[in-house]
Structure 1
Amino acid sequence: MRPMLATHGDPRSGPPVGPAWAHEIKWDGIRLLADVVDGRLRLLTRSGRDIAVALPELRALADLGADVLLDGEAVAMVGGRPSFSHVVDRVHTASAAAAERLARTRPVTYLAFDLLRLDGLDLTGLPWSARRAALEDLVDGVPGVQVSPVYEDGRGLLAATADQGLEGVVSKRRSAPYAPGVRSGDWLKFPHRDVRSVVVGGWRPQAGSGSRLGAVHVGVPVDDGSGRPLVDGSGRLVLAYRGRVGSGLAGRAGVALLERLEALPVVPYPFTTDIPRPEAAGSTWVEPRVVLDVAALGVTADGRLRQPSYQGVRPDLTPEDLLEDV
């Protein structure tokens, strides 16, 4: 099952008002479906990758029942605030021994916000309010697991999360069913910063240095008209160009990203539109596999990100996942 996704709410009006809606904090974590079958726990990213071995502190989820499916986020708190970089570091851990050590020194919490299956019963057709009530009863007191708090005043919550440096707010229609894999207007997100996921299609070195990363060329998959990503004659993804990202790549972040990109196959130019020759000069085009988060001040009329800055790699997403955001 693929998780339900939220659409962007209108920032001018803010979160909806009234008893038909509930409001939650938008946590800066990794979205995970917690799937328990006969005592075996799988923690599934949006791309379907099971990372349970990386997060042993969440093993108590396996004791919830014989057949349970939860939706939520793994969140790492640093100084009282969620740290996306810390939780991403945990996701990369493949060694069970290393994961056990990190669970003691850099633990994550699973913030559950929905219950999709229980004891063989599919709950997705029930209203959010019924699923939420069952969730609160189910996970009460489970180590490493909390239920994401719900608030009545969405606009007050939006202001409070801005003051506290949190990511934003998600508003949910109380009567709505859970729509797997659908970006639904029954869930509205109001982020404080416009962070988008994009795919790297190329990179160029820093001016005057062939060994340092200067910028990456990024884009998003293109719909082929049937709900599938467009591919070229060799079966590779074709990307709509979203611009060049250089800010945020100094120091260790740029070194680590360059190592990833240098390991990718070199391919022909992967974007649907040409870019100016000075921007393309010295660039290496690579197979579109690496997904990044970038923060930007919106999008220009020609689809480019305004003043984008690198936020981090998204190992939980595949390029195909981004077609849902196009």
Structure 2
Amino acid sequence: MIPYLPMLAAKADPVPVGEEWVHEVKWDGVRTIAQVGASGPGADDGVATWTRNGNSSTLAWPDVVAAAPDADLVVDGEVIALNGAGLPDFRVLQERMHVRRAATAARLAAGLPATFMVFDLLRLEGEDLTGRPLLERRALLAEALAGSGWAVPEHYDDGAMLLEATRSQGLEGVVAKRRTSTYRPGERSPHWRKLAHRHRGSYVVGGWRPQEGSTDRLAALLVGEPTPDGLAYRGRVGSGIGPRASRLLTELVTGLGRGASPFADEVPRVDATGTTWVEPVLVVDVETHGSGHTRLRQPSLVAVRTDLTPDDL
């Protein structure tokens, strides 16, 4: 059982300014709650991790578990891994996220090492800290993780500077947080605000299409966005689906077939022809050049988000 659901950030544009705000890098990783010590539920050899929707992820991160501090605590952060350019990249982690065998997880950890960037402390030595101010929690966090393999990212006073620095360095963006903010588990709070440089969004899969000339090689997804009126169609995503992603997606959509479109609006015939409709339960991340008339422009698959459900969107 996950000890705390993560606090979520609201979108910001522009980045907030003023002395009441501090700013940190927005990491392109997997949001993770981690527990160390035997005082909480679900610990495995003293360490356990969960995704943002409460699914256990301990098996997937043996290197993160091995780097844990010798303490009794619960923390919030992002598991990251670097791509060939030396930048945090969610896509690098995709293969590791879905591992269900310890031997496979160990092999992948050796070739694709991960780092846990810990930005908040929720419990320490059995004491709940969520009601304390952010900067107080951060000071205790730095002490608790000293000498461990888990990292505490820097805070910056100048949000505009950090925004430009992350843009020029190819990082994902910035998160601004009020210095006095308490931690509100499971809530999306205006006291935390995020701004990403990339046009990336999470969408629900409503159907798939095979590669031309085949019937079973998944080559494209039809995706939509949850709205008060139902699942609104946003476009067909084919770019980014290579052989490995195709195999993973094929496995995930198996058994989800349905007879009719799950989209609340009409799907254009050019997209609907040849499509196998599926129950709208699978979430994927898509990068796009933006949207026009509600349709994604030049969309490309980034990753499957087994840590998210349509309700999270």
TM-score by length of 2: 0.88
Note closer, same or farther for the CA distance 1:286–1:129 as it changes in structure 2 (3 Å cut).
same
The CA RMSD over aligned residues, in Å, is 2.2
Cα distance, 1:256 vs. partner? 3.8
Q: Secondary structure at the match of 2:6?
A: coil
Instruction: Sort the Cα spacing of 1:267 and 1:74 in 2 relative to 1 into closer, same or farther, 3 A.
Output: farther
Q: Distance in 1 between matches of 2:7 and 2:50?
A: 14
Residue of 283, 287, 310 corresponding to 2:301: 310
CA distance in 1, matches of 2:297, 2:91: 23
Tell me which residue corresponds to 2:290: 298
Cα shift readout 1:197-240 (whole Å, capped 9, x = no counterpart): 1110111234444344343111233459xxxxxxxxxxxxx523
Equivalent of residue 9 in structure 1, options 9, 12, 15: 12
Q: What's the offset of the Cα at 1:252?
A: 4.0
- Which residue is 1:21 aligned to? 21
2:312 alignment partner AA: D
- 2:159 maps to what in 1? 154
Output the amino acid matched with 1:321: D
Cross-structure match for 1:269: 261
What displacement does 1:137 show?
0.9
Moved more, 290-299 or 247-256: 247-256
In structure 2, the residue matched to 1:233 is none
1:282-314 Cα distance to aligned partner (Å, 9 max, x none):
21111122211001233344x333332211111
Indicate the percent of aligned positions where both proteins have the same amino acid.
49
Q: Counterpart of 1:94 in structure 2: which amino acid?
A: R
Q: Offset of 1:243 from its aligned partner?
A: 2.2
Structure 1 runs (4+) deviating above 6 angstroms are: none
**SS at 2:94's partner residue?**
helix
Matched, 1:74 2:79: yes
Per the TM alignment, residue 74 of structure 1 is displaced from its structure 2 partner at its CA by 0.5
Secondary structure in structure 1 of the residue aligned to 2:117: strand
Alignment of 1:84-99 (within 5 A): 84-99=90-105
More off after superposition, 189-198 vs 79-88 = 79-88
Which one-letter code corresponds to 2:138 in the other structure?
Answer: R
Equivalent residue number for residue 283 of structure 1: 275
CA contact (8 A) 1:41 1:61 kept: no
The answer (yes or no) to whether the contact 1:294–1:311 under 8 Å persists in 2 is: yes
Mapping for residues 1-326 of structure 1, pairs under 5 Å: 1-10=4-13, 14-38=14-38, 40-60=46-66, 63-66=69-72, 68-79=73-84, 80-143=86-149, 145-222=150-227, 239-301=231-293, 303-322=294-313
Q: Structure 2: how far apart are the matches of 1:255 and 1:59?
A: 29
User: How far did residue 183 of structure 1 move?
Assistant: 1.5
Supply the distance in 1 between the matched residues of 2:295 and 2:83 (Cα, whole angstroms).
33
Distance in 2 (CA, whole Å) between partners of 1:255 and 1:93 is: 14
The answer to whether the 8 Å contact 1:46/1:321 transfers is no
| Cα separation, 2, equivalents of 1:117 and 1:319 | 29
Whichever residue aligns with residue 188 of structure 2, its letter is: R
Total equivalences in the alignment: 303
Partner of 1:229: none
Whether the 8 Å CA contact 1:162–1:192 is kept in 2: the answer is: yes
CA contact (8 A) 1:40 1:62 kept: no
2:42 maps to which residue? none
Indicate the SS of the match to 2:65: helix
Aligned counterparts of 1:112 and 1:192: Cα–Cα separation in 2: 22
The separation in 1 between residues aligned to 2:217 and 2:104, in whole angstroms, is 30
Q: TM-score, normalised by structure 1?
A: 0.85
| Cα deviation 1:141-196 (Å, max 9, x = unaligned) | 112x1001212221111111111111111111111111211122111111111211
Q: Deviations 1:59-97 (Å, cap 9, x if unpaired)?
A: 24655433x210001011234211212222112222212
1:235 is matched with none
Deviations 1:86-134 (CA, angstroms, capped at 9, x unpaired): 2221122222122223323321110000011112222111111111111
Q: Which moved more, 1:283-292 or 1:204-213?
A: 204-213
AA at the equivalent of 1:24: E
Q: Residue 58 and residue 278 in structure 1: after superposition, are their counterparts in 2 closer, same or farther (change >3 A)?
A: closer
**Contact 1:242-1:304 at 8 Å conserved across structures:** yes
Q: Aligned partners of 1:223, 1:61: CA distance in 2, in Å?
A: 44
